[in-house]
Amino acid sequence: MAAMLVSQPAPGRSLDGAPVVVVAPAGTLEGRTKNGVEGFAGIPYAAAPLGDLRWRAPRPAPRWAGARAASDFGNDCLQIRFDGDATPSTQPMSEDCLFLNLWRPARGRKLPVMVYIHGGAFVAGSAASPVIDGARLAGRGVVMVNFNYRLGRFGFFAHPAMTAEAGGAPDVNFAFLDMIAALKWVRDNVASFGGDPGNVTVFGESAGGAAVAFLMASPMAKGLFHKAIVQSGAGRQPYARLDLDRPGRISAQMAGFGFASGAGLASPDAAALRALPADAVQGQLAFWDLQPLKFTGPVIDGRTVIDDPDLRFAAGEAPRTPFMIGSTGAELSEEPFAPVMMDLIRAQASAGDMAILTAAYGDPPDRALIDHYFFTEGARGFARMMRGHGAPTWLYMFDHVAEALRTKRKGAGHASELAYLFGNLPADAGPGDRDVARLMGSYWTNFARTGNPNGAGLPDWPRFGDGDPLLLVRDGTAGAARDHDTARLDAVERAMAARRARESVR
């Protein structure tokens, strides 16, 4: 573990091609040009959150003299990597990880800007993964940006000592503050790269998709983007509050207290907490071990996060920006850990909730309940809320299974759309796979350009309205569908509403 904590540049993934220099307000950058796309990697968008800057809002990155080399990707943030990650990375890891990457066409002005937020349950993930390399998407005529943000307890942390230090109003959601800092960097610098700071689309998948919803609902991100895409990230679960326990959810301060006590700090001050070794803070927190008594993830702090995103959306407290949202056909239901997810549903649901669900899904329930409960119903619900408040809205279902996997899978798994969207397909991709990549890239960049995913040569994607129309991507093509799994999703919606009524703390 210690080897991953070294805070210094180390060999990792790099861009190749001919040098290209851009002078931006942040400083002069030397990137690389290849196949008509210019790439710039490892750009610091904030100061390294080390030492006294740990668990503080991001500070401005130090200025540099001359041209900064921008061909090497920066460190990944500290995490425990896991087998089966759809967007794997082998970059060195460090607390010094607040870097962004940018790709642009070699020629272009006032181009739409797309800013991607990676997933990973808020405890893993990397902007350096080859799967989400932005070169091919940029080649479609957009400026493409992605970035790292603090993960795990580095990204979300509260403790009574930190609250006392801050006079009762602590920063808690450092990951979201990093995202806001990255979006501000884009606002201030992207014009130098040919991008239009007045036409920014933020999009993300899984935790990155959830982050998009949080940012839409946060007054601190107001005006930093103009369109939004949530991919497999819309949920209705209640999040932790700073200093108040709620049924089934420990408060953020109590989680921080539990972590510190376990690390041998029963009554620390803020300085003692910041002096903990990085490996102790990381503490083996992982996708498969989220340590619910010692880590909460996003926190309702009344500042960065005002309330649960679904409640903010329902109240009309999200901007009426063009909005796209969806999920995959078999998010988690075909994974080896699917029984664990079904047990989690049973643990969250009351007897009455389960009666509603088993009436629709059978007893024992069809595993599709896992996908619908955690992803699909949320996507439909957020689409309905945005439509109800007048935002142009589009809903999709990605259920294309790679041709090489069709003997092993029936439906498209979680994050499986990313290789198609970014155009980074494996060598064994078939012609139908490449057709889907063309469709996905076109829809997403059209949406970034105009706020409408439709365009010449594409199957029509109906705007969301009565009958819950969506775009269904499957078997190498796409087409409109209506009333997709309506009865089952209605049952999930009723069960979720009952759970919300029990668990809400006002």
pLDDT at 415 over 50: yes
Average pLDDT over residues 256-282: 97
Q: What are the helix (H) ranges across 42-109? A: none
Q: Which of 221, 145, 138, 147 is nearest to 177 (CA)?
A: 221
What's the pLDDT at 467?
Answer: 95
pLDDT at position 440 is 98
Tens digit of pLDDT for each residue in 302-351?
Answer: 999 999 999 999 999 999 999 999 999 999 999 999 999 999 999 999 99
Segment (H or E) for 68: strand 67-69
Which of 159, 188, 185 has the alpha carbon at shortest distance from 257?
159
Of 71, 94, 126, 206, the catalytic one is 206
For the chain, what's the residue count? 506
Determine whether 206 is an active site residue.
yes
Of the options 3.40.50.1820, 1.25.40.80, 3.30.420.40, 2.30.40.10, the CATH number for the domain spanning 1-51+61-298? 3.40.50.1820
Per-residue pLDDT at 237 exceeds 90: no
Yes or no: say if 78 and 97 are a contact pair by the CB < 8 Å rule: yes
pLDDT (tens digit per residue) in 437-477: 999 999 999 999 999 999 999 999 999 999 999 999 999 99
What are the DSSP calls for 421-487, one per residue?
HTT---TT--HHHHHHHHHHHHHHHHHHHHS----TTS---PPS-TT--EEEEETTEEEEE-STTHH
Known catalytic residue at 414: yes
- The answer to whether 230 touches 201, Cβ cutoff 8 Å, is no
Q: Which of 132, 107, 116 is nearest to 195 (CA)?
A: 107
**Which alpha helices (DSSP H) does 191-233 contain, by range?**
207-216
pLDDT above 90 (res 8): no
Reply yes or no on whether the pLDDT at 1 is more than 60.
Answer: no
What is this structure's pTM?
0.96
Taking the C-alpha atoms of residue 330 and residue 411, their distance in angstroms, rounded to an integer, is 5
3-state secondary structure of 302: coil
Catalytic residue status for 331: yes
Q: Where along the chain do its domains lie?
A: 1-51+61-298, 328-379+396-506
Task: Say which of 414, 416, 417, 493 is annotated catalytic.
Answer: 414
pLDDT of residue 9: 41
**Rounded to whole angstroms, how far apart are CA atoms 385 and 403?**
35
Work out the pLDDT band at 487, boundaries 50, 70, 90.
very high
| 66 pLDDT above the threshold of 50 | yes
Across the chain, mean pLDDT equals: 95
- Span 371-386, pLDDT tens digits: 999 999 999 999 999 9
pLDDT of the residue at 269: 97
- Catalytically annotated residue among 331, 334, 377, 417: 331
pLDDT per residue as tens digits for the range 201-218 = 999 999 999 999 999 999
Q: Residue 12: its pLDDT value, please? A: 86
Which residues fall within 8 angstroms of residue 19, CB to CB, at 6 or more apart? Answer: 30, 31, 32, 33
pLDDT of 142 reads 98
Percent of the chain with pLDDT over 70: 97
User: Which residues touch 35 (CB under 8 Å, ≥6 apart)?
Assistant: 17, 135, 139
Tens digit of pLDDT for each residue in 113-141? 999 999 999 999 999 999 999 999 999 99
Assign 3 a pLDDT band (cuts: 50, 70, 90).
Answer: very low
Where does the pLDDT of residue 505 fall: very low under 50, low under 70, confident under 90, or very high at 90 and above? low
